[in-house]
Amino acid sequence: MNLNYPLPRANAQTNAYWDGCAQGELRYQRCGQCGQVQCIPRSLCDRCQSSDLPWSASRREGTVLTFTTVYRAPLPAFKEMLPYVIAIVDLDEGFRVMANALSCVPPDALAIGARVRIGFKEVHGMALPVLESILEGAK
């Protein structure tokens, strides 16, 4: 494991999310009281502060809100990945994920508004959400 690579750290609130990623599931919370969808996981609902927050699994399809191509590594650990694409995707269930695109999704094929699918990639022993493929709306 490359200790210089900044991996997310699971905690009591996010364990179920990261366990889901390891099992190929993109999980989110839907409030049992008011229906609010949230991800980043929290112990209380954003809207009504209920702690009744069961987990659901996303269909992993969504729409690109925005994206950028990174040509200069913000940390030395990212240099070998250059250039890479970071996208913000609005999932159909109503939450948002920021994810790197797999190299099979070239930046010149991506577009704002494109329909995409989220998958997972193992990075230094941890399964991270990634933009896996473009479903429709490619340039």
In the complex, which residues of this chain contact Zn ion (CB under 5 A)? Answer: 31, 33-34, 36, 45, 47-48, 50
Provide, rounded to whole angstroms, the least separation between the CB of residue 51 and Zn ion. 9
Cα gap 126→130, rounded to integer Å: 12
Task: Using the minimum distance from each CB to Zn ion, give the nearer residue, 43 or 50.
Answer: 50
CB of 61 to Zn ion, least distance (A): 24
Q: Which of 17, 89, 24 is nearest to 53 (CA)?
A: 17
List the structure tokens of 103. Answer: 């190299």
- Return the residue matching tokens 């930046």: 107
H or E, element range at 89: strand 84-91
Nearer to Zn ion, 30 or 60 (CB): 30
Min separation Cβ 21 and Zn ion, Å: 24
